[in-house]
Structure 1
Amino acid sequence: MALLCFCLSACSLVKLKEESKTFYSSTVLAGHVSSADAWDKPVVVAAYTRRNGRLEIAHYTVLHEAGGYELIVQKGDYALFAFGDANGNLTLDAGEPVGEYGAAPVRATGTGSLVSLDVVISAAAQSALPRGTSVAARASAKTHSTQVGAIARLDDPLLSAESGRRGYWAPVDFFKEVGGNIYFLEEYDARKTPVLFVHGAAGSPQDWSYFLKHLDRSRYQPWIFYYPSGSSLDSMSYLLYWKLSNLQRRHHFDRLYLTAHSMGGLVVRSFLADYGDQFPAAKLFVTLSTPWGGDALADQGVAYSPAVIPSWNDVRAGGRYVQTLFRKPLPRQLDYYLMFGHGGRYSLLRPASNDGTITLSSQLRSDAQSEARRVFGYDEDHVGILSLPQVFAQYAALLKAADRRDGDGRSAGKGNLRVAFSYARPDETPASAPVLVLTPVDAARDAARDATRERIVLPVSTRDSGRELGPFPPGVYNVGLMARAFKTTPASTQVTIGAGGIPDLNFELTPQGVLSGYIGADVTSADNPAGSFRGGRRDINIESIVLTNGTDRREIAPSRDTRDRTLEAYVAGQDYLFKSFFSFVGLKEGRYELTINVAGYPPYTRTYDVVPGKYGYLTPIDLTAPNQAH
């Protein structure tokens, strides 16, 4: 696909250059919208600025119900608002609930993602946003939902091949107008196993038409990850994580099968390697025609093309993404199968054996073969493999085999847990939902074991309070509930799961002041593109981190513990430092000065306002400009 750029017109090349420039100077803002009142109608979320007293919408999105959202903006300061849209006119009308994020603007740095920008909407909210505020600036304003789990029809133009190609050549425009989402083709059914389908470069959900037509819909429910395939793969891997974590919070699915074509396999493998431990439900991963070794044509396109699509940088055979793709193994509970095609013809561009698009050597990279339980080859080309009866017959057999391995009686030998939680101040509506943390007692006591790989982290919502949750593997656990900017009482409770009855736990959440953040990896914007997650630094020696407000002084220093106990420390109400991440808890309301002392760097100093019950985001701290305001 890379060399097609040379055939584009001058106007197209100018547009492509602008797209790439915009992508690498944008930030994705993400968070959750929750409602203080019963609200099951659409919600509008927007980022805006004010110029000469006028409100200017930078980006907005529509959700079919309250939940997760994503917005993409250029570098700058933005305010965020959300409102219920009962009549679908994209306008804040009388009686509709409204909410805003914080008192201070959000500063987008022009790279990566900012998350935890959570908003509570309420009909009684005192908002500076006037009634009549509208995001419908033009007749073609979008109204489809970008909230995960939105129901879609496969023949919808939104999911068409033409739309998918646009997501490849104009990823920023696509994200603004279409978004990136996991769509359902039917209502969620807890009795069926979800099967997630992920398309490749310039692809769309309609690429899976043959698979979806022949899938046993009495046993499986298809989910489709639709994303702008011209974006960086790190960004799309993180978007997939964000979407699936929101689905997990809502539906608590305990089994998930993943299927990917072409470049989609790279996206899914990155997701599984980086975040798979948080998704024990992922049991099966099948790829078709994935360029595990990259594409040499992408190297040429990046080197010689006057305009470069962001994903080309990742598909390059000699690029960082492909070279580090197998640095982490797939999760242990996952079965992986590799399918490839070899039905391509010889050409000047593809002199080696290929499927018409990807060389055989790339599809059969030794790292990928060594992970696969089995490898299946077909005399078919890159696209035709998705509609070959023999391919689907083998695929259906793999689904059934996964069913048998995991057991149709998924709860057999496992147990449930009932957790109720309430807020000490009933009028306190948290913007962020809690997470339930189950740490096996044996793993917690045994210093030689990695408790982070044993513990279970389950996102929950207010609707889960008092409900049975599970099933969980039997055993003895320390169970705690974590909610940002809240203290939980009791901190944790030891329970035995799977031994007959269902343990009943009750937690009370009280507002507390919290300040947390991390020192970001020293990377360029090209290494931290819009929508990606910027990791913490590993090449520094933190001497101490001090927080003071004149009357209260806290200091934390590095620990020799190599295990990440961040969640456990938060639940226990302890200040904590792990690698470059830090967290201060139990703070009183006020203004605090934060000082970070790192060997070889001047002290980083900045002041922050802390309000109990309100969790403010922190951008990754950059030590190269220690005293520069964000």
Structure 2
Amino acid sequence: MTFTLGTKEAASMQGLKIIVTVTMIMLVTGCANFRHLAKEVDMLDNIYVEYRVIIESQHETESFVFIQLQEPSANTIDGYEVVIGNQPITVTGDSMSQYLFTFNDANNDLRFQVGEAFSVIALPEEADKPLQLQLSNTQGNYPQALVDRPLINLLNVKFSPAKIGEMATLAAPQFDRESANLGMWKPVTHLKQGNSGVFFLDDFDKSKIPVLFIHGMNGAARDFEPIIAKVDRQKYQIWVMNYPSGLPLELLANGLNSLIKIIDYRYDVKTLHLVAHSMGGLVTQGYLDLCRNQLGCDDIASFTSISSPFGGVESAQSGLDYAPVVMPAWRDLAPNSEFIAKLFTDRFTGHEDDFSRPPHQLIFGYRVSGIINKKSSDGVISLDSQLRDRAQQQADRIYGLNEDHVSILANDNLAKALHEFWQTSEQAHKANTQ
């Protein structure tokens, strides 16, 4: 079985759940996909490196920007991330970057100004120990070329950076099934081609509440077309996240965290609804765990997950055990993975915490079709995984629909549940933020 969570291919299978074996993987996907995946995994290892960062600062709720540089005097940057709070932070960097420039973005404009506390350190060859940063505004060795310049204009990366706020329609090629498949088997190529980011389906309107849709594995923004057609566009504006689903979920959660922080700054968003299908729910929950730890979820009014495998996917473990090449996402999707174990908890202390937790509507499907299925499921994801105890305990509303993994997105009652939950959440969000 290819891991087609959240795709239209699942509908064509008419609900038949096929157990993953090496033979079936090779028959369905072909050897070429694994050859491509092997090259992509090598490229991924050569491009990305993760650093654990601890900021020695009293600015517990301030904004911090992390910038990767080739040299402190460079006129361009390799990439940047934005976080809120001085808790331990994971920064994903370019493996070729030599320096990390960090500053406290006191006025939230995504530009460095003289007087803002900062730090410049050389990055170690091995990222096994946390980087201890001490910010100061009394130093004079800040990167001169970065002073008061928009960071987005300084990016010089090996692949196309994630798009933020680019206008698109659901008919756009980056939302095609071919692009979705590319994102699963050739995720780095997907990034290089500029298919990833948060795209706007409507002109930005400050008077309308944004709804961000996040697809699942081997999915694309177009999967949400049936829901989007039923959204009240007089009140809401539609945003979609498109991403290569073969990447590690931890990396995707960090990327979503950074994207939303940048959007907050650029568009001054005060209220945002998140709607995620299948694996997208895991990416979104991973993001929410991160931003709660950073005290940065104030703008999130609600989170709705649809058919999400919060308990993991058993077939992902089979992929780890038997596939000739392991897709990075499978490691996080496996039921016993560290990523699954940490969902719904503080990312660093490991404790469950309701602080700054946006209301969560957990929607699950339970239509089983075919004679092969042995467990209760929606034809792809087991009920046991969709209804993981910890997910239920933290959910504000749990709602089941007699639909399979794909048909659920076209259910009229789903659209109704979304609008009702948004309305209730907006009222609570407004009361909490005044």
Q: So what's the TM-score if we normalise by structure 2?
A: 0.69
Structure 1 gaps of 5+ residues are 31-45, 50-58, 61-69, 81-102, 124-133, 415-471, 474-630
Per-residue deviation, 1:147: 3.8
- Within 5 Å, which residues of 2 pair with 1:60-75? 75=95
Residues 1:104 and 1:375: Cα distance change in structure 2 (over 3 Å): closer
Aligned to 1:10: 31
Contact 2:301/2:358 (<8 A) preserved? yes
Displacement of 1:146 in angstroms is: 3.5
CA–CA distance in structure 1, aligned partners of residues 336 and 92 of structure 2: 32
* Equivalent position amino acid for 2:363 in 1: M
Q: Paired residue for 1:432?
A: none
Alpha-carbon separation, structure 1, partners of 2:311 and 2:50: 32
Using the TM superposition, give the Cα deviation of residue 47 of structure 1 relative to its aligned residue in structure 2, in angstroms.
9.2
Instruction: Pick from 314, 337, 347 the counterpart of residue 319 of structure 1.
Output: 337
8 Å Cα contact 2:199/2:240 also seen in 1: yes
The alignment status of 1:264 with 2:280, answered yes or no, reads: yes
- Name the CA shift for 1:177/1:118 in 2 (closer, same or farther; >3 Å): farther
Q: Which residue, out of 190, 196, 221, partners 2:206?
A: 190
| Unaligned 5+ runs, structure 2 | 4-19, 52-67, 72-77, 80-90, 101-119, 132-141, 150-155, 347-352
Label 1:232 to 1:184 Cα distance change in 2 as closer, same or farther (>3 A). same
Measured against aligned partners, the alpha-carbon deviations of 1:11-39 in whole angstroms (never above 9, x if no partner) come to: 33222222223223322699xxxxxxxxx
The separation in 2 between residues aligned to 1:248 and 1:304, in whole angstroms, is: 43
CA–CA distance in structure 2, aligned partners of residues 387 and 247 of structure 1: 29
Question: Mapping of 1:143-542 within 5 angstroms?
Answer: 146-178=162-194, 180-276=196-292, 277-328=295-346, 329-332=353-356, 334-348=358-372, 350-407=373-430, 473=434
> How many percent of aligned residue pairs carry the same amino acid?
27
Once residues 198 and 118 of structure 1 are traced to their aligned partners in structure 2, the CA distance between those partners, rounded to angstroms, is 38
Query: Aligned equivalents of 1:247 and 1:106: distance in 2?
Result: 28
Q: CA offset at residue 255 of structure 1?
A: 1.1
- Contact in 2 for aligned 1:152/1:185 (Cα 8 Å): yes
Q: Which has the higher contact order (CA 8 A, sep 6+)?
A: 2
Q: Deviations over 1:419-465 (max 9, x none)?
A: xxxxxxxxxxxxxxxxxxxxxxxxxxxxxxxxxxxxxxxxxxxxxxx
Instruction: Answer whether contact 1:345 1:354 (CA < 8 A) is retained.
Output: no
Q: Distance in 2 between matches of 1:323 and 1:211?
A: 31
- Considering only CA atoms, is the larger Rg found in Structure 1 or Structure 2? 1
Aligned to 2:35, what secondary structure does the other structure show?
A: helix
Contact 1:19 1:170 in 2 (8 A): yes
Deviation sequence 1:119-142 (CA, Å, 0-9, x none): 64999xxxxxxxxxx999xxxx97
Q: 1:146 to 1:333 in 2, by over 3 A?
A: closer
Deviation per CA, 1:254-302: give whole Å up to 9, x if none: 1111111001111111111121321211121111000011111111110
1:377 Cα deviation (Å)?
Answer: 0.8
1:11 to 1:78, Cα distance in 2 relative to 1, 3 A: farther
For residues 104 and 364 of structure 1, do their structure 2 counterparts lie closer, same or farther at Cα, with a shift above 3 Å needed?
closer
Which letter does structure 1 place at the counterpart of 2:297?
F
| Distance in 2, Cα, partners of 1:378 & 1:135 | 44
| Structure 1 residue 27 corresponds to structure 2 residue 48 | yes
Q: 1:48 touches 1:78 (CA, 8 Å); kept in 2?
A: yes
Cα 1:301–1:105, aligned 2, differ >3 Å: closer, same or farther?
Answer: same
- RMSD over aligned CA atoms reads 3.9
Cα offsets for 1:510-546 (capped at 9, x unmatched): xxxxxxxxxxxxxxxxxxxxxxxxxxxxxxxxxxxxx
SS at match of 1:382: coil
Q: Cα distance 1:317–1:106, how it changes in 2: closer, same or farther (>3 A)? A: closer
Query: Per-residue deviation at 1:379?
Result: 1.0
Task: For residue 238 of structure 1, report the CA deviation from its aligned partner.
Answer: 0.4
- Residues 79, 23 of structure 1: alpha-carbon distance in 2 compared, 3 angstrom cutoff: same
Given the superposition, is the C-alpha separation of residues 118 and 246 from structure 1 closer, same or farther in structure 2, using an over 3 Å criterion? farther
Distance in 2 of aligned mates of 1:290 and 1:155: 25
Q: Which moved more, 1:194-203 or 1:329-338?
A: 329-338
SS in 2 for 1:217: coil
Q: TM-score, normalised by structure 1?
A: 0.48
Which amino acid is 1:374 matched to?
R
Q: Deviations over 1:179-229 (max 9, x none)?
A: 531111122211111111110111101011111111111111111111111
- 2:314 and 2:335 in contact (8 A); partners too: yes
Aligned partners of 1:118 and 1:315: how far apart in 2? 43
Letter of the 2:34 counterpart = L
Shift of 1:381: 0.6
Contact 2:163 2:194 in 1 (8 A): no
Number of residues of Structure 1 aligned to a counterpart in Structure 2 = 343
> Deviation at 1:403?
2.8
Measured after TM superposition, the shift of residue 330 of structure 1 is 5.0
How far apart are the structure 1 equivalents of 2:331 and 2:192?
22
Q: Corresponding residue for 2:84?
A: none
> d(CA) in 2 for partners of 1:148 and 1:404?
28
Which structure is higher in helix share? 2
Shift of residue 48, structure 1, vs aligned partner: 9.1
Deviations 1:227-257 (A, max 9, x none): 1111001000000011011111112211111
Answer whether contact 1:273 1:330 (CA < 8 A) is retained: no
Partner-residue secondary structure (3-state), 2:171: coil
Whether the 8 Å contact between 1:47 and 1:71 is mirrored in structure 2 is: no
Q: Check whether the contact 1:147–1:181 (CA below 8 A) recurs between aligned residues.
A: yes
Instruction: Give me the whole-angstrom Cα distance separating, in 1, the residues matched to 2:144 and 2:287.
Output: 24
